[in-house]
């Protein structure tokens, strides 16, 4: 058990030496996890895009042969929703019904949030 604790401590020390992470590294990690979340969430719903295909659709706007347009749109829309939620969460004001309604109206002109 002592060896395990010593190993864990050594790894934590290595990790701590990497801090603070640069803003570029943090953005890369965030994008990676947002794409991973999009792929996993869509896969649960039956989407057959692989993680790499999902990343290509999101990052480069390409279509994947043999895949339905619906699957491509699910990836793009889910990723946009993740970014929207992240933007909403970054606001200093409390999130309430009016805040969400205003965000919807700003994001989708013509939408009736009421």
Sign of the torsion formed by the C-alpha atoms of 111, 44, 87 and 52: negative
The ranges assigned to domains in the chain are 20-107
**pLDDT 10s digit of each residue in the chain, 114 long?**
889 999 999 999 998 998 898 999 999 999 999 999 999 999 999 999 999 999 999 999 999 999 999 999 999 999 999 998 898 888 887 777 777 777 777 777 666 655
């Amino acid at each position: 058990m002592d060896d395990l604790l010593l190993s864990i401590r050594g790894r934590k020390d290595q990790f701590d030496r990497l801090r603070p992470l640069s803003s570029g590294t943090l953005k890369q990690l965030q994008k990676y996890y947002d794409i991973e979340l999009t792929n996993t969430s869509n896969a649960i719903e039956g989407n057959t895009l692989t993680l790499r295909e999902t990343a290509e659709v999101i990052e480069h706007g390409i279509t994947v042969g043999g895949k339905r347009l619906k699957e491509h749109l699910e990836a793009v829309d889910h990723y946009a929703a993740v970014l929207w939620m992240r933007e909403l969460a970054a606001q200093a004001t409390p999130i309430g019904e009016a805040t969400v309604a205003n965000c919807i109206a700003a994001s989708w002109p013509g939408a009736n949030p009421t």
